[in-house]
Amino acid sequence: MKKIIAIAVGALLASGTGAALAQQDAKSLATGVCAACHGPEGHSISPVFPRLAGQQAAYIVLQLDAFRSHARGDPNAQAYMWGMASQLSDATMKALGDYYAAQKPAHEKPEYPDLLAEGKKIYTEGIPVQNVPACASCHGPKAEGAGAFPRLAGQHTDYLVAQLQGFQSGLRSNAPIMLGVVKTLSPEQMKAAATYAASR
């Protein structure tokens, strides 16, 4: 049965690039494939797998494209997403972005409550002495994101921390803006900013 479904999805994907077909593809992929890791409607359980519910559609498309071209190449991206994205057409990526953007975002409790106040300060004011800009200036006052700037609100805190570490170490090297932002952040400051952003 599983094999039959896999073949059916493969056939669907190969058979065209029209917008209506892409939308059909996106729905069956989201529920039949992506949900295995990202959860039903993009509500994943493990922080290894980012939540996609309510994420900005444009950001999702940019990331899928970066996985497909191998531009986003941190170890988890390579292990999980390179193969996944290699099969997707531009039209299907766009439909997947629209599908997940339309899902209701999750709520994340403050993961490191002791760091919440410090995180709020970093998020809203930046750290001028370290040349760190306010996260709010791009990710929005409620961390809702906009277009190419991802939603951080409702994301797993530990996923956000891992990404900040990835920017700083250069493992996720295709994001020049964020490479500049995180340059001088300490591990505690990353956890603090992530805790505040995720819990909006």
Note whether 91 binds ligand HEC by CB under 6 A. Answer: no
Q: Which is nearer to ligand HEC, 139 or 200 (CB)?
A: 139
**Which residues have C-beta within 8 Å of that of residue 8, sequence separation ≥ 6?**
none
Note whether 106 binds ligand HEC by CB under 6 A. Answer: no
Q: Write out the two tokens for 62.
A: 């940019």
* Cβ(132)–Cβ(184) below 8 Å: yes
Count of residues binding ligand HEC (CB under 6 A)? Answer: 41
**Which residues have C-beta within 8 Å of that of residue 200, sequence separation ≥ 6?**
142, 143, 144, 152, 153, 154
> Which segment (4-12, 13-21, 108-116, 146-154) binds ligand HEC by CB under 6 A?
146-154
Q: Write out the two tokens for 34.
A: 């992506």
Q: Choose which of 12, 21, 28, 80 interacts with ligand HEC (CB under 6 A).
A: 80
C-alpha 17/C-alpha 92 separation (Å) is 8
Q: Choose which of 65, 138, 158, 179 interacts with ligand HEC (CB under 6 A).
A: 138
C-alpha 102/C-alpha 44 separation (Å) is 16
* Cβ(112)–Cβ(47) below 8 Å: no
Q: Choose which of 133, 144, 158, 179 interacts with ligand HEC (CB under 6 A).
A: 133
Restricted to residues 3-62, the positions that interact with ligand HEC (CB under 6 A) are 29, 33-34, 36-38, 48-50, 52, 60, 62
**Which residues have C-beta within 8 Å of that of residue 7, sequence separation ≥ 6?**
none
Q: Choose which of 57, 96, 115, 153 interacts with ligand HEC (CB under 6 A).
A: 96
- Give the footprint of ligand HEC on this chain (CB under 6 A): 29, 33-34, 36-38, 48-50, 52, 60, 62-64, 74, 76-77, 80-81, 84, 96, 122, 132-133, 135, 137-139, 148-150, 152, 160, 163-164, 175, 177-178, 181, 193, 197
